[in-house]
Amino acid sequence: MRTSQEPAPTFTLNGRQALVTGAATGIGRAIAVAYAAAGADLVLLSERDNLDEVAAVVQALGAKAACVRFDLADADGRTGFVEALLDDHDIDVLVNNAGLIRRAPSETFADDDWYDVIEVNTHAAFHLARAAGRRMLERGGGKIINIASVLSFQGGMFVPSYAASKHALAGLTRALANEWAGRGVNVNAIAPGYVETAVTEDLRDDRQRQAQITARIPAGRWATPRDIAGPAIFLASAAADYVHGHILVVDGGWLCR
């Protein structure tokens, strides 16, 4: 039992190696840079060859950065890729951040737009968590952080596959936590609200819709990717060792209203 004389757990990530998917831009980039500043080394994954800039920032902070290119939508090659990647790198923290979104009215929503989103947002996240989790269990511990969404709780508009995938990711987070919490592996999720990234560019370009969304956020503004990085440090650190199966909402109060 911890006594009052023992120091509180810190938020440092010194000596840890983190794999961040979708690391080149947006939320993934912000988390990778924040982890580097907190002392972690990084394995940066993107479907495109666009990781040089974030790798340079990570390295300037004194961290190591391995850049890996792979399209997580590649269902045929994904399992082998994931196993080989995790054989090459001892991952202490996995951040399942990579994701897709497609927008259209549900009555005309295309099959490809349904399957493509589910493939990356749900199937790929499970394959990565399964492989990383197995190795973490063998080593006696680790942290898995899934990037969910406020649409893990709501239905949204014109994004049926995205909403379904994020509901599934919340369920997966809880299911894995039930199995692994007692064996040293923490599985949690962050549910961002509306964030200024490429994913929301279409919404922000629609001035009327952008104003409607902003008016409903008690904080009075959209999040920046940096707003998600702090919670990601917490969940990856020893400060969150007793946090399991939690969906941490970071939405400026959106769900409160």
Domains of the chain are 17-249 (3.40.50.720)
162 is catalytic: yes
Residue 83 has φ and ψ, to the nearest 5°, of -65, -45
Across residues 102-131, what is the average pLDDT? 98
Contact 223, 192 (CB under 8 A): yes
For 143-194, the pLDDT digits (tens) are 999 999 999 999 999 999 999 999 999 999 999 999 999 999 999 999 999 9
**Rounded distance, CA 40 to CA 18, Å?**
7
**Rounded distance, CA 17 to CA 40, Å?**
5
Catalytic residue among 115, 162, 194, 242: 162
Across residues 26-31, what is the average pLDDT? 98
For 190-208, the pLDDT digits (tens) are 999 999 998 898 889 999 9
- Residue 136, classed as helix, strand or coil, is helix
Number of H helices, E strands in the chain: 9, 7
Q: What is the DSSP letter of 183?
A: G
pLDDT band at 49 (very low <50, low <70, confident <90, very high): confident
| Percent of the chain whose pLDDT exceeds 70 | 98
For 71-80, the pLDDT digits (tens) are 999 999 999 9
Contact 129, 146 (CB under 8 A): yes
